[in-house]
Amino acid sequence: MDDFAQARGTKLTQEAAAELHRIDPNLELPVILDIHTACCLIGNLQLALRHPANTGPSREVTRQFIDGIIREIERHGYLKVAELLRLGDNQAYDYQPPRVISG
């Protein structure tokens, strides 16, 4: 990264932090997801939570988001979809591609 890009990134980060300090604590951003998008998003977030360096405060927010979406899916009667999504937290259920043995 060149010096200009680094300086711009630092300035932008500082400006964004200043905005966050002024944010309305009652501000909510409604999000509407179809079930397919929710499943894709949850799967990707579950993978992100497995990264060993993902230990910051946003990890807990992400975990709460995942759990909340799964609860909503379950509340709407999609019990098997919710169960399948919960398995995404268990590495024992990860897809294992077939081993190719070359001769």
Give me the pLDDT at residue 1, please.
Answer: 67
Cβ(42)–Cβ(66) under 8 Å? Answer: yes
Handedness of CA 91, 92, 95, 96 (dihedral sign): positive
Task: List helix spans (H) across 1-103.
Answer: 3-21, 35-50, 57-75, 79-87
Query: What are the structural domain ranges in the chain?
Result: 30-91
The per-residue pLDDT string of the chain (103 residues; one tens digit each, 9 = 90 and over) reads 677 667 777 888 999 999 989 989 899 999 999 999 999 999 999 999 999 999 999 999 999 999 999 999 999 999 999 999 999 998 888 778 888 887 6
Give me the pLDDT at residue 9, please.
Answer: 77
Give me the pLDDT at residue 36, please.
Answer: 97
Give me the pLDDT at residue 73, please.
Answer: 97
Give the single-character DSSP code of 55. Answer: -
For the whole model, what pTM was predicted?
Answer: 0.74
